[in-house]
Structure 1
């Protein structure tokens, strides 16, 4: 997968527009749009900023790592996530099994939700710990 596809996928997972991402990066939307459409590539400074913004590794962003595990995740966090995914029972909607394609979509949504919740918990714990 090319970097533009990754950027589009990550932005859409967050429910953000190109304008919002461009504003976060302090650049103009056409520049960001050129990255998503693989017309141009972001320089290393922006690759790092984009990886941090989306909580993924630079390797993932550049397509060298298919694993979407955030860079801040510990090995225990990874085990927790894998355990959650390994609970492999039939996935049903209204009593009808869903397709493999729909299962994959649900898995991606669950993955995003899992990592967002894990990050919030870590941030809350770190904040409370520093207040003590």
Structure 2
């Protein structure tokens, strides 16, 4: 992941026509730290540092977080579209899920508000995880309801 992140960081910086020094100044990060990230000498930075880099370059925070290994789907790649509602989901399940997603106003990561694209991606991942957890709970209930308790 470190090398993937560094490669993407360099590519985005060069596409924006920025030098390492320009990016360092815009992001409030030392130029040596950026150089070490790009060359794979330094480990993957923490989320607030990635947010600073994304903002300074006008790049996708989600794309950088994915390259850093923070955001992954179950198959090792980031979920591109929301998981479909399973056939077994009841009206109550769907209502509960919708309420859970919409009840909380602003989604944040590490104290930083997420942009629309990042919010959509996070909701997509949460959708898949929610339905998976619901299905596991339904299986557990069926087992405990059976006469032998298995």
TM-score normalized by structure 2?
Answer: 0.43
Higher fraction of helix: 1
Larger Rg: 2
